[in-house]
Structure 1
């Protein structure tokens, strides 16, 4: 059977081109994704780092003991590290020389937002060397990392968390890739940031570990040596976070490509089996068993799978480096990111390709085994539709689509926060797409009838037959598309896959993004002006104090913090996004989506929570939480908010807000402003602009904040399109083109018969083109229907979560994809038909009749 399968693939290679190309592309994408994901697992060697010259590092790592509902106590790091205890610092200092690292926010006027202040004694830990000037000897002197020699002796201004300062540049160092630093005298750095986040130790590592163990051990600090020292560098953590962020879309892209490839291979082999029905029946007639036919089809798929997987692995290996450069160019990963080619990554991708080929051909092999020997003699040219195939499509499609719709309804009513996360809701979206694809073949006919109902109605009103409504070409194309079930299904299904998948994914992403913008817009609906950071990570205390001191303006200062709570039925302790604000200003300046309780009840012993908070808290009830530094609190729920997962999940007052620690005091994230009655808007605006000028802040309007949020979400949508949809859509396009080429080449007798009946070449080609467009239009209609179901489910869940929010269907993208499908389908259908009709006037039919006689 293997020899026969090889011969079949060699002789009927045109039937397998589509499967080969699509599977090769799928394996290539999977191989590239696996190689890139493997490269993101470990942070690449950054070369020199902040602490690369220190042999041993002791880092602050305060943990709180959390005991799950059933399990052992789990140490959980707190998000706001308070720094190393004084006793531990003294114990480590007894082992040898130590250097304390005091790092906090400081930014020069032209400095980047991640610029930091550090003590000069810690500069040597990163290998800094002065290129001009001298070390800072007084509190009003600084050394600029990466500065210019001509800056030495100049007076510069800089911003810290407590406001604006000035100092004389005593020296400059060479630039380093791992940070942008401004160095102060040790005493001044300690005043800006009293907490010690990292302690560099030069004594024996074992002695340092013993000293740490005696002063609290792993519950308060970690001891790092060797390559582990890179974990103490914030640049290391930032790079690791960026690498993790690309793992999810790459994994989704690989999974979607594998699933799409299954549809592609399955559809192509199903069409191939239908075209080879007589050939397979002849094999049955000469003695082949059903099992042998199934084996033949499976081994054909195996041959195609081996060849396509090998080609895909080669393409994936070649595409690994360009994929890495694309990620670097789009600033998704650091500039030093590279993608090595590993044999095991290619092996995994190739194995998945083989499995995909075998999986995609299972149903086709079963159909091949059901062919009877008599069909070699009795089979007519007219197409017969398998009742078993129709029943399978109806049952499987309705089960998958119905299950997806039921899951959407359940999610919208019970777990609306799931719909606010694209990764969490992806399985629901794929269920809708899969259901539409499975039903595409059986719904294509009704969709075509629906789309062609208008000309028929016009004809009936004029007293003519329905088929005469659009002329002979229209009637022939319509009847051909309705009677040729396999050809219509082969054309419609890829279109449904393209339109539904793009519409469901992008529509849901855009709807989620719009709900986030809606939250911001609703929250700022009562604000007149907003102060936001201008090239800085936040707003300093000087900005806050100046804005608060202005008359006629009520200000709401929002400072980020964290609140920890158990999740997953008490199995883990997780930090949630929270914020602190004055309760009176919070109730009067902003409009939070309160669904129960009142913001006026927020006080030192209470908390305002999102209604998606773990445990479904009720207003008036009490929740046990931990503050950002691990301090336990038992707080009363003052109000519940309808907010999404990306919004603030908890609001607390100052006594319950930990906004400082390692890195210095936290910066305010935003100041929302409301003009009091009688305040002149022009004068207040001018005073506010003057107040924030030169402090790394800008005065904006709520509309500008909404616009910025909208622009950001649109960029995210297009990144998702590029990373997840791109090749999946290409696969479906390949299937569309291949299926039409396969069917048109088998329509030679039909096309010749039309010519023999008197149709001109132009009429025949217009018939083929119109039939193709009908199928593309039917597929587009079904894809839009699937998109409407998916987006409607997301919209219902988000409306239940955050209140009224728009549902977004990406009409422009879907229209562009539908037009692309039409162009591809017309090219793949009309061009082979034109070549078939070249210099022929029905001779093929006459030769066939002569041969039969």
Structure 2
């Protein structure tokens, strides 16, 4: 049977191209991720304490990004390969039935299919190992664009990675084919030959379990996101909607796609070619569902993830404007603060300087514990209170003075709200400061610890990057003060809205780049699966297309009907994926409204249009090429026999 697996793979390699590419991509991602994570193990020898702290924080970010990439890559590999093999095995049911009739047992059949998976896994591992050397360069490029220390990573290749590659490739392939092999071996051979009974059943037990098992949490998450008053909860529930909703619709697509296709097919009836395409939609339920499924995942995953990020970036802009009481913001160094304050028309100039400081957390009866990384800013307590409209969740801002500290929004997940004091080390200065308040989390990132400028050496403040919020004196024109500040060359001068939007854009770019890369990864997998499903589905219909030609259709009409059918299925997949993304984003909009008082939603329309146009072009081209290739033989030679 193993020799037959090799023979089958050689003779019918076109059925396995999509799965082979999926495995190779999964292996390449695992290899590249393992190389990068191994290289980000620890800061290099000879680094100063400040450099070590910065690199440790950056390496944590690198490991988090690579970890998400590895998880998504493995998940999609198994998911897509399982779907691809299920469709491929189903399309070969007559071939497998003939093997059973010729004496092959169920165990022989499973050995044949698992053997094909092993061959696929070995070949995919080899291709993935070669592709991994290219992928790691792409990941380093991405990390460099995120201002992470890609040049400080040791990305040398180790021989043990070949073992990992082989294990991942073979493991993913066997896991993907195992369920399809077991189901195929249980089909009675006569049922498969006649396409009745269990062989004709599209909604298998596994599809029902997966579909309903994912539909229940998807509906619960959708309802929860609409009723939650917490922004973070709505976002997390939105992520749940994306993954569970996409999988649920993909698994239940044999129930949904035919109904939607029947409605769409009414518009095709007046045309002869359209009527042929409508017949294909009606009769090829398994084929249409297999094609629409990856598109549902593609749109739901990519549009949903990117929509969450763009919406939260817009929400951060609104929040920053709501919590900042000022009209102008100046970006400079600490040396310019005095000049800003002395500018005519400036009533309040509240400076916030980012410090190269180290924070230690005192513990009762034990030595202070250093934080791995903390963003520390220095402010004037009175000016900070005058320009900040953010109520603390514990403590009082009125107690903030030159001898105390405040835990900022960024400390919510790293420092306990019950922390009573912090120790700040900046240069040769060490100060212990009692904590008098703890600010709540915000949509955008915020500092971990806020300290008074009075405890920071003036030389450090003079060089520190500083943002100064300016409140204009009553009766003075904002434009006049802005022009005076620009004329004095104190730094980059912006109005509050422009500054807030720029801050959100800069802080959102990193998240969008990371999530865009992950969403793009999901998109590549989905497109591979779509191309494979379309190519296999059309190429396996040679006899059906030949019958249409014998009855009077021309070759061009038959190919055009296949293209039209594929495009209708594509439209259905995009529509259902859009339902998943829209459900997710409406929950995010509701969460933003609960937190900010105004509904905030930013749909990435250019991405939506690009996905739609790209999917249509890819599917149309694939179905046209597969249809033209499948209609190359003379129709009479195919009508008389079974494939």
Unaligned runs of 5+ in 2: 364-368
Once the two structures are TM-superposed, the CA of residue 17 in structure 1 deviates from its matched residue by 1.9
Note if 1:398 corresponds to 2:212.
Answer: yes
- 1:527 equivalent to 2:322? Answer no
Change (3 A) 1:578 1:429: farther
Q: Cα distance 1:552–1:665, how it changes in 2: closer, same or farther (>3 A)?
A: closer
State the partner residue of 1:545: 338
Distance across 2 between alignment mates of 1:806 and 1:634: 37
Contact 1:599 1:608 in 2 (8 A): no
Instruction: Indicate how the Cα distance of structure 1 residues 413 and 383 shifts in structure 2: closer, same or farther if over 3 A, else same.
Output: same
The residue number in structure 2 matching 1:758 is 552
Corresponding residue of 2:470? 673
* Deviation, structure 1 residue 418: 6.5
Shift of 1:329: 7.3
Gaps of 5+ in 1: 45-226, 456-466
Instruction: Show the counterpart of 1:213.
Output: none
The structure-2 alpha-carbon separation of the partners of 1:683 and 1:610, relative to structure 1 and needing over 3 Å to count, comes to: closer
Among 580, 605, 609, the alignment partner of 1:786 is 580
DSSP 3-state at the match of 2:189 = coil
Mapping 1:197-236, distance limit 5 Å: 227=45, 230-232=46-48, 234-236=50-52
Name the structure 2 match of 1:712. Answer: 506
> Counterparts of 2:168 and 2:106 in 1: how far apart (Å)?
28
Partner of 1:444: 257
Shift of 1:309: 1.0
Question: Where does residue 88 of structure 1 map in the other structure?
Answer: none
**The one of 626, 645, 650 aligned to 2:422:** 626
Q: 1:605 to 1:658 in 2, by over 3 A?
A: closer
Q: Does 1:15 align with 2:11?
A: no
Separation (CA, whole Å) in 1 of partners of 2:122 and 2:296: 29
Q: Deviations over 1:28-78 (max 9, x none)?
A: 22212222222232445xxxxxxxxxxxxxxxxxxxxxxxxxxxxxxxxxx
Q: Is 1:688 paired with 2:465?
A: no
Q: Which residue of 165, 178, 190 corresponds with 1:362?
A: 178
Taking the aligned partners of 1:557 and 1:33, their CA distance within structure 2 comes to 41
Q: Judge conservation of contact 1:433–1:504 (CA < 8 Å) in 2.
A: no
- RMSD after superposition: 4.1
Cα distance change on mapping 1:265 and 1:611 into 2, 3 Å: closer
TM-score (norm 1): 0.65
**Distance change in 2, residues 1:447/1:611 (3 Å):** farther
Structure 2 Cα separation of the partners of residues 382 and 748 of structure 1: 24
Within the candidate set 242, 246, 259, 2:75 is matched to 259
State the SS of the aligned residue for 1:672.
Answer: strand
Are the counterparts in 1 of residues 309 and 512 from structure 2 also a CA contact under 8 Å? no
CA distance in 1, matches of 2:471, 2:613: 49
Deviation at 1:675, TM superposition (A): 1.2
Count of residue pairs brought into register by the alignment: 629
TM-fit CA distance, 1:397? 2.3
Rate the CA distance shift 1:419–1:660 in 2: closer, same or farther, 3 A.
Answer: farther
Partner of 2:640: 847
Secondary structure at 1:284's aligned position in 2? helix
Match of 2:630 in 1: 836
Of residues 514, 537, 541, the one that matches 1:747 is 541
Q: Which residue matches 1:277?
A: 93
Return the alpha-carbon distance in structure 1 between the equivalents of residues 291 and 173 of structure 2: 21
Match of 2:443 in 1: 644
- The answer to whether the Cα contact below 8 Å between 1:393 and 1:442 also exists between their aligned partners in 2 is no
**Structure 1 residue aligned with 2:517, among 711, 723, 737?**
723
Write the distance in 2 (CA, Å) between the matches of 1:364 and 1:330: 41
Give deviations 1:338-371, integer Å, cap 9, x for gaps: 5211112232232112111111122201211211
Residue matched to 1:30: 30
Greater shift in the superposed pair: 11-20 or 607-616: 607-616
CA gap 1:336/1:583 in 2 versus in 1, 3 angstroms: closer
Mean alpha-carbon deviation: is it higher for 16-25 or for 395-404?
Answer: 395-404
**What's the counterpart of residue 823 of structure 1?**
617
Aligned CA distance change for structure 1 residues 717 and 586 (closer, same or farther; 3 Å)? closer
Q: Does 1:373 align with 2:373?
A: no
C-alpha distance in 2, partners of 1:663/1:609?
A: 21
Q: How big is the shift at 1:663?
A: 6.0
- Does the Cα contact within 8 Å between 1:264 and 1:731 map onto a contact in 2? yes
Aligned to 2:366: none
CA radius of gyration, larger in: 1
* 1:774 Cα deviation after fit: 0.8
Contact 1:602 1:608 in 2 (8 A): no
Q: Distance in 1 between matches of 2:562 and 2:233?
A: 46
CA shift in 2, pair 1:495/1:472, >3 Å: same
- Distance of 2:469 and 2:81 partners within structure 1: 56
Q: CA deviation at 1:238?
A: 4.1
How far 1:305 moved relative to its partner? 0.8
Alpha-carbon distance in 1 for matches of 2:128, 2:407? 53
For residues 616 and 794 of structure 1, do their structure 2 counterparts lie closer, same or farther at Cα, with a shift above 3 Å needed?
farther
Helix, strand or coil at the partner of 2:31: helix
Instruction: Tell me if 1:295 matches 2:111.
Output: yes
1:253 deviates by 2.1
Instruction: Report if aligned partners of 1:556, 1:589 keep a CA contact under 8 Å in 2.
Output: yes
1:312 counterpart residue number: 128
Choose from 274, 280, 284 the match for 1:484. Answer: 284
Of 5-14 and 558-567, the range deviating more from structure 2:
558-567
Aligned partners of 2:259 and 2:94: how far apart in 1? 29
> In the TM superposition, what are the counterparts of 1:575-614 in structure 2 within 5 Å?
579=377, 581-582=379-380, 585-586=383-384, 588-592=386-390, 613=412
Q: Secondary structure at the match of 1:628?
A: strand
**Compared CA separation, residues 289 and 701, structure 1 to 2 (3 A):** same
**Aligned partners of 1:576 and 1:649 also within 8 Å:** yes
Higher helix share: 2
SS state at 1:374 partner:
helix
What corresponds to 2:496 in structure 1?
702
CA distance in 1, matches of 2:187, 2:458: 75
Distance 1:611 1:351, change over 3 A: closer
How far, CA to CA, are the matches of 1:258 and 1:432 in structure 2? 19
Per-residue CA deviations over 1:671-693 (Å, capped at 9, x if unaligned) read 111212122445533443355x3
Change (3 A) 1:333 1:652: closer
Which residue pairs with 1:434 in the alignment?
Answer: 247
Aligned mates of 2:153, 2:410 — CA distance in 1:
41
Q: Superposition pairs for residues 53-452 of structure 1, below 5 Å?
A: 227=45, 230-232=46-48, 234-317=50-133, 319-320=135-136, 324=140, 327-328=143-144, 332-335=148-151, 337=153, 339-375=155-191, 377-379=193-195, 384-387=200-203, 389=204, 391-404=205-218, 406=220, 413=228, 416-417=231-232, 429-449=242-262, 451=264
Q: Which deviates more, 623-632 or 297-306?
A: 623-632
Shift, 1:846, TM fit: 4.8
Report the 3-state secondary structure (helix = DSSP H, G, I; strand = E; otherwise coil) of the residue aligned with 1:532.
strand
In 2, distance between residues paired with 1:481 and 1:344? 49
**Could you report, residue by residue, the CA deviation over 1:305-346 in whole angstroms, capped at 9, with x for unpaired residues?**
112112211222455456546655775435465521111223
Give the TM-score, by structure 2 length. 0.84
Q: 1:410 to 1:343 in 2, by over 3 A?
A: farther
Deviation by residue 1:425-477 (Cα, 9 ceiling, x = unmatched): 86775444433433344332234345557x4xxxxxxxxxxx74x43333332
Q: CA deviation at 1:242?
A: 3.8
